[in-house]
A and B are shown apart, each in its own frame.
Chain A
Amino acid sequence: MAEMTYREALNAAMCQEMDRDESVFLMGEEVAEYDGAYKVSRGMLARYGPGRVVDSPISELGFAGLCVGAAMTGLRPICEFMTFNFSILALDQVINGAAKMLYMSNGQIPVPIVFRGPTGAALQLSAQHSQACETWYVHAPGIKLVTPATPADAKGLLAAAIRDDDPVAVMEGELLYNVRGEVPDGEYVIPLGVAELKRAGDDVSIVTHGKMVHVALQAARALEREGIEADVLDLRSLRPLDADAILETVRRTNRVVYLEEGWPFAGIGAQIVALIQDEAFDHLDAPVLRVTQADVPMPYAKNLEQLAKPGVRDVVEACKRVLYMNGHG
C-alpha cells in the first residue's frame, strides 16, 4: 500500500496497462506536452513518447471517432475527454459507433476503448461545465460505465476498463483528483460490476456512486451523531450493475436513499428505484427517495450553485424521511 492522490492512481493505472500492452495508447486534448489538463497524464509523454501519448486537436467528435476506428482494428485506446461535458459533441461516435459496432457486425468487431475524464460539477464553472453525464452513456446497451470514488478504486477500475473488451466510460471528478488514499502496490485490477459497502449500518441505506460517495459518508457521520447507522453502498460500476449488492442492503435496512450528482429526470436513481421496486418491493418500509441535483442547469452564483447541488443536509433530511423521523411518520 502506498498513499497517493486519485490523480496519481489514475496515472499509475494507465502506466501499468501501457507497460503490459503495446496496443494501449492515450489520446486527448493536452494529454502530452501539457501533462494533462488536470495533470492526470503527468510524465507519460516522456515515458511512452509521442506515438502513444498523443495531443489531439480540439475535435471531440473527431478524435473520439478516430479512437473508435483504431479500436475496431484491435488497438486499445484511452480516449481522454478534458471533461465529459465536451464529450456531448462526441456522442454520435460513442453511441452509434462504439456501443453498437459489435452488435451490428454480429460479433465481428469489438471496440475495446476507454473514454475517461471528469464528470459532474466542480466549483462555479456554471451550466456548460457542470453536469453529470452518466445517464447519457449508461443508457445505451453496448457501453459499460464505472465511477471510481477513491484513489484505490481509480487505479483498479481504470485498469479493468482498459483490459475490458468493450467500450468502458470511466467517469472521474475534478474535485476528486486531489483526494488522497491508500492504493495497493503492483498490479491492481478491480472487476467491473462489483459494488463496495463503504460503511455499514443497519438503519438506512444510502446508495450512490462517484464523487457523491464522499457526501454520503459525511451524511452518514452526521446521522451517526443522531444515533442513526447508515449503510453507504458505492456502486462503483453502473453498467454492469451490482444488483445483488443493492438488493442486499435493501433487505437489511428496508429504507433507501439514492444519491447522485445528476438530474433526476431519467437519472441513474430512477433506474435504481425501478430495480428495487421490481425485485425488493416487499422489503421496503418506505418509498425510496432520491437526492439529486436540482432540475435546473447549474447556476454560477455561489449561493444558487450550492442550492442546486445535492449536499450533506439533503441526504440527512432524506434519510430521516425514509425513517419517518421528520414528522412524516
Chain B
Amino acid sequence: MAYATRTTEEQLNDTAPEYEGFTREELHGLLAEMLLYRRFEEKAEEAYAIGKIGGFCHLHIGQEGLAVGAIRPLAPDDVVITAYREHTQAIAKGITPRAAMAELYGRVDGCSGGRGGSMHLFDTSVGFLGGHGIVGGQIPLGAGVGWAIRYRGGDQICVCFMGDAAVNQGAFLEALNMSAIWQLPVIYVVENNGYGMGTAFSRVSATEMEARSGAYGIPAHTVNGQDVIATHRFFADLAAKVRAGAGPQFVNAITYRFRGHSMSDPVSGTYRSREEVDSHVRDQDPIVILRDGLMERKMLTQAELEAIDAEARAICEDAADFADASPFPDPSTLYDHVYAEVNERGRLFLDGRGQGASGADAVAHGGRRGGPNG
C-alpha cells in the first residue's frame, strides 16, 4: 500500500464514520471503487508522462469519494453530465475502464471513438452525457436533460457536476433560475476543491458557496465529499427526494484536488503551499479515511485490502494494455459524425475533401479546366 500508516492517536482524532445501513460487502465495494479510480488516474498520469495520452488531462485524485458517493446511488437510467475532470465519474456511471482509457489514448475503442479525448467521454447507453470542456457549459445542458425528463413525464433525475469556479459563469445563474421556475429534477453538484485552476474560490466570490443558489429559491446542501459514506447516504436520500418531485437541488461538496489542475500544472506552487497539499493528502484522503475506519472496526483485514488494491491495479493495467492495443481511428472516418443527417442535395463541407462524406456531387474539380471561356 502506498498510503502512510497513521498512528493510533491520529486515528482517534478522526470523526468516526457511522456505517449503519451498509453491509461489509458494500463497504468493501465502496473502497474498491475508490481504489479503482485512484489507480486509474495514476495509470493515466503514467501514460501521459510517456506520451500515450496527449492534450489536456485533468485528474480526479483526491476527489474519488464524490464520484462513488454521488453516482453509485443513482439508477441506471438516471443521467450524469459533467465537466472535464470526469474520468472517474464516467466509470462510476458505467463506462468500462477499458473504454475510458482507450478514449484517453485517442483510440477507436474509446467510449467516444477517439474523437473526444480526456475531456469528452460519452456513453449514452449508461446515461453519461459527457465530458464538457467549457467551464459551466454543461450546466444549461443538464437543465435541458431535466427539462426533457419532465417533458416526457419520466421519473429519472439528472446529476450535473461542476467545479467551484463554474458558479461564476452566467450559464450557472441562468440554468439555476430556469430549473427553479420549472422545478426540474436536477441535482447540481459543485465539486468544491477550493480552486478554479490556480484561483482560490474565496478570491473570486464575496459569498460562501452555499449562498449561490438561494437567490433562485433552490435549497443548498453541504456535504463532506471526502467521507464516502456520508456522501453516499446523502445522495441516496437526495436522489429519492428529487425523484419524488422535490425540484432542483444545489450541493456544495467539499473536496480537495491532490494533483495540479491539469498535467502541466504543479501539485503546489504559487497559489497553494506544499504544506496545505500535504495536510490534505494526510488527513483528507477519502480512501484512507474509509480504509482506516474499516480497519479500526475490524471490518477490513490487511489481506483483504491488498487483494482489493491488487484487483484495482490489475483492472487499470488491463485497461492501459487494451487502450494501447486498440487501433487509432481510421483516417477515412475523419468526416464521420459531423452531421447526423446527410441531405441529398447540397454540400455540407467546402474544404474540397469532405464532399464524399456529405453525399454531394463529388465534384466539378475534374472538369474545371478548358471550359467554354477558358
Q: What is A's interface to B at a CB cutoff of 8 Å?
A: 25, 51, 56-57, 59, 61-75, 92-93, 96-97, 101-110, 112, 141-142, 144, 164-166, 191-194, 237, 239-244, 247, 251, 254, 271, 274-275, 278-285
Contacts and interface: CB of A to CB of B under 8 A. Distances in A.
B181 A57 contact: yes
B147 A66 contact: yes
B121 to A, nearest CB: 9
Interface string B332-374: 0000111111011111111010000010110111001111111
Which 7 pairs from chain A and chain B are nearest by CB? Answer: A69-B144, A193-B346, A65-B140, A62-B174, A240-B346, A106-B113, A282-B374
A164 B113 contact: no
Most chain B Cβ neighbours within 10 Å, of A65, A112, A251, A279 = A65
Contact of B122 (A108, A241, A254): A108
Contacts of B143: 62, 65-66, 69
Interface in B258-290: none
B77 to A, nearest CB: 11
Contact of B151 (A57, A70, A191): A70
Given A62-B178, A192-B345, A241-B350, A279 B368 contact: yes
Contacts of A70: 144-145, 147-148, 151
A103 B337 contact: yes
B327 interface: no
13 contacts: A59-B178, A63-B140, A69-B146, A72-B129, A72-B141, A93-B140, A107-B337, A191-B344, A193-B343, A241-B350, A274-B350, A279-B363, A280-B371
Contact of B370 (A107, A254, A282, A285): A282
B248 interface: no
A108 B124 contact: yes
Contacts of A102: 337-340
A106 B122 contact: yes
Contacts of B163: none
A244 B345 CA distance: 9
Contacts of A191: 343-345
Given A69-B144, A106-B115, 12 more contacts: A61-B171, A62-B174, A63-B174, A69-B141, A72-B145, A73-B145, A92-B171, A105-B116, A105-B122, A108-B123, A193-B344, A244-B361
Given A96-B137, A108-B122, A65 B371 contact: no
Contacts of A59: 174, 177-178
B225 interface: no
A239 B346 CA distance: 8
B130 interface: yes
Interface residues on B, range: 35 or more
Nearest to A51: B151
A25 to B, nearest CB: 7
A278 to B, nearest CB: 7
Given A65-B143, A70-B144, A239-B348, A164 B341 contact: yes
Contacts of B137: 65, 92-93, 96-97
B122 A104 contact: yes
A61 B176 CA distance: 12
Contacts of A194: 345-346
A285 B340 contact: no
B140 A66 contact: yes
A282 B369 contact: yes
A51 B374 CA distance: 61
Given A93-B137, A191-B345, A241-B346, A283 B372 contact: yes
Given A165-B340, A237-B346, A280 B360 contact: no
Nearest to A271: B350
A190 B260 CA distance: 53
A189 to B, nearest CB: 12
Contacts of B122: 104-106, 108-109
Nearest to B361: A244
B88 interface: no
Contact of A106 (B112, B361, B369): B112
Contact of A62 (B113, B116, B171, B346): B171
Contacts of A107: 113, 336-337, 340
Contact of B120 (A61, A65, A105, A166): A105
A107 B112 CA distance: 8
B175 interface: yes
A243 B178 CA distance: 42
Contacts of B151: 25, 51, 70, 75
Most chain B Cβ neighbours within 10 Å, of A68, A105, A144, A247 = A105
Nearest to A63: B178
Contacts of A279: 363-365, 368
Nearest to A96: B134
B170 interface: yes
Contacts of B348: 141, 144, 239-240
B217 interface: no
A197 B79 CA distance: 48
Contacts of A97: 132, 137, 141
B368 A280 contact: yes
Nearest to A281: B368
A243 B355 CA distance: 11
Given A25-B151, A70-B145, A105 B343 contact: no
Contacts of B337: 102-103, 105-107
A51 B373 CA distance: 60
Nearest to B339: A166
Contacts of B336: 107
Contacts of B175: 62, 65-66
Contacts of B149: 73
A192 B171 contact: no
A78 B266 CA distance: 45
B69 interface: no
